[in-house]
Homo-oligomer: A and B are copies of this chain.
Amino acid sequence: MARAATTSDVFNAIAEPQRREILVLLRAGERPVTELAQELGMTQPGASKHLRVLREVGLVRDRRVGKQRLYGLDARGLRPVHEWAGGFERFWSESFDRLDAYVQDLKQTGKAE
């Protein structure tokens, strides 16, 4: 076996920096492939591939307009990501006492031995 978590998973789709950039760009509105590729400094096939992944996980929708194909954002799939990360909110906002004490302990342990 290898690489258990394949595509078709939102978390995996946004693991790619360039795909995240595409999503950010699309917040400003629909764009054709070539324009996206140009603005992000990547080749057209490269952009098409990333867009395919994003489409397969449902983060992006495409619409044909003449010869062009406009890609638009469908951010609903990002909601689970937001909520999942939000489930850890109390661990970064409160109770740093325990964490700090813990870090101190780490330092001491490291020095002592």
Q: Which residues of A contact B (CB under 8 A)?
A: 4-5, 9, 11-12, 14-18, 20, 23-24, 27, 61, 63-64, 72-76, 78-79, 81-82, 84-89, 91-92, 99, 102-103, 105-106, 109
Extra pairs beyond A73-B91, A78-B92 (17, CB < 8 Å):
A4-B18, A5-B15, A5-B16, A9-B15, A9-B17, A11-B14, A11-B20, A27-B91, A61-B102, A63-B109, A64-B109, A74-B91, A76-B91, A78-B85, A78-B88, A82-B82, A82-B88
CB-defined contacts of A99 to chain B, threshold 8 Å? 74
CB-defined contacts of A61 to chain B, threshold 8 Å? 102-103, 106
Copies of this chain, count = 2
- Interface residues of chain A: helix, strand, loop or mixed (majority): helix
CB-defined contacts of A86 to chain B, threshold 8 Å? 82
